[in-house]
């Protein structure tokens, strides 16, 4: 956003060399530190970072607080798992809906489409009611889905969980198409999808579409008066945001191989909101930075403190970040760099 | 050219406009004056489609436009420079200007207009790549006016263009409005600064609690004792 004013050398360094170097370093982690625990922690942090990147599109760029974002994550997880496991359920009127087990890539696409479709629905409904009403609507949406997942036992197995979900199958160098069962393979897959999600959001935000979103966040009535179709842009943002969250849910399902209705828990939405807000909403890197800090912190604290103390530290860190860096870490760093440069 | 017939509009249950009728003819500079809350800004919002009128009819070049979305009104040649924050602070000056031409498809002509705006407002050209929020109040107002003109409107509506500006800049803004009209664009302006507005206007409407109470030429209203007493008291002393 605020970074694109000058195309000078340090700007290019910050814009290309640094991020790609960072990605390269992350890609080397499984080679240099082949520790399964470390890879597991980074993989689940990565999945949450994808969720945070998608939430940032709504929260950071359009300024709409979606407190039910986990709904799209959970929808993606269930859609992908059910598509790959297959199902056979009664849909009333004496009819049955049967789906044979599909390959995982079909599940991945189904996750994006189902989550995106619900994003569209919620966008159409909710953008008629803004502000607090939108927030409440999104919270309810996630809660209702959790209830459905808990009670529609024939489809979701309810609290017994969906088990035996296949791992991601991909072409792998030297091995052909294989199911990704190793930690390092899943780590690389999540890393690749995170980079794709980041690039997609960056592309969007730096386009005409992104400028329209920034404009309507700042002044909706002015945006409407210059001819921006506010509802249209908000709906498109909601669909893309939900679709990316659905992709993250699919990765989650095929990585953990088991999902239960807890994928709709409110706490996961809160975690994503914290990642975006502490990192810096409305900045491309904010959710990544916030995601690393709050994705890794619980595990870093695991060995050093009892769980109760961990949560206290977690909460205190969150409060301190919001108190001292209200706009987030990334905007604070940008301001610092600019002051240095000046 | 533009005609409002008994237009009523409001926010929730509060009626801000009660059967307002007024007319703007081609090439005119028409002012709406009145106290705070008289319904001046609401009138502009109703015309530009930001607010759907509850009753009455708005016609533009013979076509009914009441109930149309803002972008459809803009596409028909009516630009609105709303009150309050008039620019997009996080976008650059150039992007703000481009926003004004959002609905235009003639890219080459837009580029020419952009260059013309830069010639006309050298300050904006200098600050082209700067975030618009970093401009001074006067520069922001110039940018807002320039942005409105980027849509090549037939009618441009200014809401309180002099609000919050230093006295020297107020004169510059009014001179600019006069210039725009002289160049052939019809202007409908809302102004608190009734004295200056009436001097500039061909015709004016005085609004009070959502209704038109007096209308006439700028000079006539300026001379009218009612207007003088109610709205210009301090200014004439």
Out of B49, B85, B102, the one facing A228 most closely (by C-beta) is B102
pLDDT at B237: 36
- Pick A155 or A241 by higher pLDDT: A241
- A66-89 burial, b for 16+ CB within 10 Å, e for fewer? bbbbbbbbbbbbbbbbbbbbebee
Tell me the C-alpha distance between B70 and B218, whole Å.
29
Share of chain A above pLDDT 90, in %: 24
Could B88 and A223 be called an inter-chain contact, meaning their C-beta atoms sit closer than 8 Å? yes
Residue A157 dihedral angles phi and psi, to the nearest 5°: 65, 5
Could A222 and B86 be called an inter-chain contact, meaning their C-beta atoms sit closer than 8 Å? yes
CB proximity B94 to A under 8 Å: no
Number of neighbours of residue B53 by Cβ within 10 angstroms: 23
Interface of A with B (CB under 8 A): 1-2, 5-6, 211, 214-215, 218-219, 221-229
Sort B211 into a burial class: Cβ within 10 Å, 0-12 / 13-18 / 19+. Answer: middle
Task: Collect all residues of chain B within an 8 Å Cβ-Cβ radius of residue A221.
Answer: 50, 82
Residue B4 dihedral angles phi and psi, to the nearest 5°: -110, 125
Could B99 and A211 be called an inter-chain contact, meaning their C-beta atoms sit closer than 8 Å? yes
pLDDT at B28: 94
* Contact status, residue B20 vs residue B207, Cβ threshold 8 Å: yes
Mutation pick from A225, A230, A232, A327 vs chain B, by most beta carbons of B within 10 Å, is: A225
Q: What rounded mean pLDDT belongs to chain A? A: 85
Residue A11's pLDDT band (boundaries 50, 70, 90)?
A: low
Candidates B8, B26, B110; CA nearest to B66 is B8
pTM of this prediction? Answer: 0.80
Number of neighbours of residue A90 by Cβ within 10 angstroms: 11
Locate the chain A residue with the closest alpha carbon to B48.
A225
Label the pairing between strands B203-208 and B29-34.
parallel
pLDDT at A6: 42
How many angstroms separate the CA of residue B153 from the nearest CA in chain A?
11
Q: What rounded mean pLDDT belongs to chain B? A: 89
Sorted by where each begins, the domain ranges of chain B are: 2-236
DSSP letter assigned to residue A166: P
- Pick A88 or B7 by higher pLDDT: B7
A:B CB pairs within 8 Å: 61
ipTM for the predicted complex: 0.82
Mean pLDDT along residues A150-154? 85
Q: What contacts B32, CB < 8 A, 6 or more positions away?
A: B22, B40, B43, B44, B188, B189, B190, B191, B204, B205, B207
Instruction: Give the Cα-Cα-Cα angle A111, A116, A119 (nearest 5 degrees).
Output: 130
Residue A89 dihedral angles phi and psi, to the nearest 5°: -130, 155
Locate the chain A residue with the closest alpha carbon to B157.
A225
How many angstroms separate the CA of residue A4 from the nearest CA in chain B?
9
Number of neighbours of residue B194 by Cβ within 10 angstroms: 23
Out of B74, B129, B131, the one facing A227 most closely (by C-beta) is B74
Kindly state the helix (H) or strand (E) to which residue B155 belongs, with its residue range. strand B155-159
Locate the chain B residue with the closest alpha carbon to A1.
B90
Out of A5, A211, A225, the one facing B70 most closely (by C-beta) is A225
* Contact status, residue B117 vs residue B150, Cβ threshold 8 Å: yes
* Contact status, residue A325 vs residue A335, Cβ threshold 8 Å: no
Find out if CATH 3.65.10.10 is the number for domain B2-236: no
pLDDT at A275 > cutoff 70: yes
Out of A214, A218, A227, the one facing B70 most closely (by C-beta) is A227
Structure-token pair, residue B181? 């009209």
Phi-psi region of A290 (alpha: psi -120 to 50; beta: other; left: phi over 0): alpha
Tell me the C-alpha distance between B169 and B189, whole Å.
17
DSSP letter assigned to residue B76: T
Instruction: Give the Cα-Cα-Cα angle A84, A39, A200 (nearest 5 degrees).
Output: 65
Per-residue pLDDT of chain B (237 residues; tens, 9 = 90+): 999 999 999 887 788 899 999 999 999 999 999 888 889 999 999 999 999 998 999 999 999 999 899 999 999 999 998 887 789 998 899 999 999 998 888 889 999 999 999 998 988 999 999 999 999 888 999 999 999 999 999 999 999 988 888 888 888 889 999 999 999 999 999 988 888 889 999 999 999 889 998 898 988 888 888 777 766 554 443
The CATH class of A2-341 is: mainly alpha
Per-residue pLDDT tens over the stretch A285-339:
999 999 998 888 877 777 787 878 887 888 888 888 888 888 888 888 888 888 8
Could B48 and A223 be called an inter-chain contact, meaning their C-beta atoms sit closer than 8 Å? no
Per-residue pLDDT tens over the stretch A45-85:
999 999 999 999 988 888 888 888 999 999 999 999 998 98
Could B130 and A1 be called an inter-chain contact, meaning their C-beta atoms sit closer than 8 Å? no
pLDDT at B234: 45
- Helix ranges, A180-306 (H): 183-205, 208-218, 220-225, 230-256, 266-279, 286-302
Could A215 and B88 be called an inter-chain contact, meaning their C-beta atoms sit closer than 8 Å? yes
Tell me the C-alpha distance between B160 and B174, whole Å.
11
* Contact status, residue B206 vs residue B231, Cβ threshold 8 Å: yes
Candidates B29, B36, B40, B33; CA nearest to B222 is B33
């Amino acid at each position: 956003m605020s970074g694109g004013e000058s195309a000078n050398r340090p700007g290019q360094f910050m814009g290309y060399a640094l991020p790609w170097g960072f990605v390269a370093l992350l890609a080397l982690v499984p080679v240099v530190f082949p520790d399964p625990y470390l890879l597991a922690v980074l993989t689940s942090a990565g999945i949450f970072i994808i969720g945070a990147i998608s939430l940032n599109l709504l929260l950071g760029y359009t300024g709409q607080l979606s407190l039910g974002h986990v709904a799209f994550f959970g929808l993606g997880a269930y859609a992908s798992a059910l598509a790959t496991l297959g199902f056979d359920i009664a849909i009333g009127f004496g009819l049955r809906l049967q789906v044979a087990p599909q390959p995982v890539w079909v599940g991945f696409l189904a996750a994006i489409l189902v989550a995106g479709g619900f994003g569209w629905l919620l966008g159409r409904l909710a953008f008629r009611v803004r502000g607090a009403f939108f927030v409440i609507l999104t919270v309810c949406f996630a809660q209702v889905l959790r209830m459905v997942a808990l009670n529609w036992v024939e489809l979701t197995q309810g609290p017994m969980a969906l088990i035996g979900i296949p791992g991601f199958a991909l072409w792998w160098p030297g091995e052909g198409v294989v199911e990704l069962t190793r930690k390092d393979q899943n780590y690389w897959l999540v890393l690749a999808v995170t980079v794709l999600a980041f690039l997609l959001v960056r592309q969007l935000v730096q386009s005409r579409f992104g400028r329209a979103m920034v404009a309507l966040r700042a002044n909706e009535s002015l945006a409407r008066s210059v001819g921006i179709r506010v509802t249209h842009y908000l709906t498109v943002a909601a669909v893309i945001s939900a679709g990316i969250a659905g992709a993250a849910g699919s990765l989650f399902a095929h990585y953990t191989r088991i999902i239960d209705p807890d994928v709709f828990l409110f706490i996961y939405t809160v975690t994503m909101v914290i990642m975006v807000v502490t990192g810096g909403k409305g900045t491309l890197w904010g959710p990544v930075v916030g995601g690393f800090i709050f994705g890794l912190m619980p595990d870093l604290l695991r060995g050093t403190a009892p769980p109760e103390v961990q949560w206290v530290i977690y909460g205190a860190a969150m409060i301190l970040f919001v108190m001292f860096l209200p706009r987030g870490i990334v905007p604070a760093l940008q301001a610092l760099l600019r002051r240095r440069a000046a | 050219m533009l005609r409002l017939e008994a237009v009523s509009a409001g926010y929730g249950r509060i009626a801000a406009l009660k059967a307002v009728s007024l007319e703007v003819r081609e090439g005119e500079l028409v002012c709406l004056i009145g106290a705070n809350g008289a319904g001046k800004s609401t009138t502009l919002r109703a015309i530009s489609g930001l607010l759907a009128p509850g009753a009455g009819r708005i016609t533009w070049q013979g076509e009914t436009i009441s109930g149309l979305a803002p972008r459809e009104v803009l596409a028909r040649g009516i630009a609105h420079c709303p009150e309050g924050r008039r620019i997009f602070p996080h976008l650059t000056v150039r992007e703000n200007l481009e926003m004004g031409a959002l609905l235009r498809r003639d890219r080459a002509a837009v580029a020419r207009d952009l260059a013309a705006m830069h010639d006309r407002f050298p300050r904006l050209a200098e600050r082209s790549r700067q975030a618009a929020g970093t401009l001074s109040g006067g520069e922001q107002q110039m940018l807002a006016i320039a942005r409105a003109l980027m849509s090549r409107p037939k009618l441009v509506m200014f809401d309180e263009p002099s609000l919050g500006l230093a006295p020297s800049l107020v004169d510059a803004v009014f001179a600019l409005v006069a210039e725009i009209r002289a160049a052939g664009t019809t202007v409908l302006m809302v102004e608190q600064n009734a004295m200056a507005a009436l001097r500039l206007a061909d015709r004016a409407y005085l609004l009070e609690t959502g209704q038109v109470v007096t209308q006439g030429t700028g000079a006539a209203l300026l001379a009218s004792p009612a207007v003088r007493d109610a709205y210009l008291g301090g200014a004439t002393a």
